[in-house]
Structure 1
Amino acid sequence: MISIEEFDARMEEQGWVIFESAIPMAIVEQMREDIHKAYAICRDYQIKNGIDQDTSYTVHHLIGQFDSFLDCLAAYPIHPLIERYFGGKFILNSFGGAINTRASQSYAQRVHRDIRSYSGDTALLLNTLVMLDDFTADNGATWMLSGSHKAEAKPDDEYFRAHAEQAIAPAGSILMFNSNVWHAGGSNITDQVRRSVTPMFCKPFVKQQFDYPRALGYDRGAQFDESLRQVLGYNARVPATLDEWYQPPARRMYHSNQG
């Protein structure tokens, strides 16, 4: 693990950092299997709702589908650095993934950033990516434009390709980056798949892309340790009835320490 000083410097200057071999391989190997099963589930919905043209080989909201993805979150060794980035508590915003093959084409391979409104120095959203296979130059390792979190304007494709660099690391590594960084999935020119999952985190007052506590079950929150319960969003829920609203502090759905 890098020092706090090096972490701060890389996130300030580059906007991204890699933590090599951070997730236990037993979890990585199970996620390799489960992501294909999850894709079959997601693909049915993509086709059913007519959005299958630009979403091939992508998966979304894996928490609640298979336990290996929950195990991945529980094993994250960088929670203190994520909290440092946000300057306080954080929750899971989304948890997707991709299966990059020689034939795959999706929105993730276009130059983009994953925050819709440029947030400047305000930390609202943070990307992470867990490499389920080795990320190499040939199999489509993600392209990162260092320093691009400091400017709002999108670079043109020619500038991006001339200055971006690939995030190359072994399976089990975590790529973390400021969500203002412009990036793009690479093209896989090998005959082997390149898989990844992409947990994204946000300030607790930012709306989750998916209601993970509801999907997992409100009662299930008590089964998780304090750290995982916080990350999943159990401490930052929105009341839906007056009875849920009028509760003593210890039982409120949105806790007072969530910012």
Structure 2
Amino acid sequence: IEALIAHVEQHGYVIIPAAFSAPEADEAHAEIVCLTSSPETAGPAGGFTTHTNEEIRGGRNSFEGFKTHRIYALLNKSPVFQKFPTHPALLALNNHFLDPGFLLNAFHSVYIQSGEVPQALHHDDGYVGVPRPHRPFGTGVMVALDDFTPTNGATIIIPDSHTWGPDTAHLPQRKDAIPVVMDKGSVVFFLGTLWHGGGENNSPGPRRALTIQYCQPWMRPLENQILAVEWDKLAGMPRRLVDLLGYEPRAPFVGYADGVHPWKVVQRRLRE
């Protein structure tokens, strides 16, 4: 893990080859395909496909990607996805770069379809509004469910950009970005201060991935996990995953409910 940390500290990202097996990636993809068969499970941008194979729901804006399909709230829709946010290497990296009690910020699929244009370059901490440079407020992960190539929409990154300040000399330029080329089952971990974006897909097929984002325990997560994941599904999840959703208070008592541990409140209300 020390080598992974050192690479992130220097370059802002690191690729972990074969973090998940090809069968695990295929299983996740098969589940995504099942979820697209219903508008309820596909959600507002999941690429719901009718019986005539006419796709009627993609991204709703240029950042989400008009030709990019995203299925949100994955942990509420299938236990197949539970293994991904708690991969030991990902937790170890977050233990180093984030404070104890870090949270799951967002977790959804990202299927960049053929013909999609490049996403705007951005850094995930940008929405916080604190001037750079600063320590990372979060981290991001892309899990490759098929091979990432230079032509199929692989995530593009600007190495070393995580240290940039607010000066105009460091405005992100697409010519400085490189594609994250990696095999199915591999992941790329990057800091929330790293400039990156979704790549242009000039291939005939989609680029399939999951994105996992984490944030500091004192931040409000992008995806409201307390509402996104139904309470009665928490009992079947690993406790570490439940903690990531926000049910474990941060020291000394941030996140309590009615003066007690939030997990106790959930259990009590489920019994009522």
CA distance 1:235–1:220, shift in 2 (3 Å):
farther
Task: Name which of 110, 114, 131 aligns with 2:120.
Answer: 110
Where does residue 32 of structure 2 map in the other structure? 35
Where does residue 92 of structure 2 map in the other structure? 80
Structure 1 contact 109–187 (Cα < 8 Å) conserved = yes
For normalisation by structure 2, the TM-score amounts to 0.76
* CA distance in 2 between partners of 1:156 and 1:72 (Å): 37
Where does residue 70 of structure 1 map in the other structure? 82
- Structure 2: where are the runs of 5+ without partners? 49-55, 267-272
Secondary structure at 2:110's aligned position in 1? strand
* CA distance in 2 between partners of 1:147 and 1:139 (Å): 24
* CA distance in 2 between partners of 1:67 and 1:154 (Å): 45
Secondary structure at 1:78's aligned position in 2? helix
Shift of 1:126: 0.6
Where does residue 144 of structure 2 map in the other structure? 131
Equivalences for residues 31-180 of structure 1 within 5 A: 31-38=28-35, 41-43=42-44, 52-54=60-62, 55=64, 56=66, 57-59=68-70, 60-75=72-87, 77-105=89-117, 109-115=119-125, 116=127, 117-118=129-130, 120-153=133-166, 160-180=173-193
% identity of equivalent residues: 22
Secondary structure at 1:199's aligned position in 2? strand
Question: What is the CA deviation profile of residues 134-191 of structure 1, one whole-angstrom value per residue up to 9, with x for unaligned ones?
Answer: 0111212111101111124497999622222111110111111011111121112111
Shift of 1:252: 7.5
Give 2:145's aligned amino acid. L
CA distance 1:50–1:127, shift in 2 (3 Å):
closer
CA distance 1:120–1:102, shift in 2 (3 Å):
same
* CA distance in 1 between partners of 2:59 and 2:207 (Å): 23
Give 2:29's aligned amino acid. R
For normalisation by structure 1, the TM-score amounts to 0.79
Where does residue 18 of structure 2 map in the other structure? 21
* CA distance in 1 between partners of 2:179 and 2:58 (Å): 32
Task: Name which of 209, 224, 242 aligns with 2:222.
Answer: 209
CA distance 1:154–1:141, shift in 2 (3 Å):
farther
Structure 2 contact 247–262 (Cα < 8 Å) conserved = no
- Structure 1: where are the runs of 5+ without partners? 254-259
Shift of 1:224: 2.8
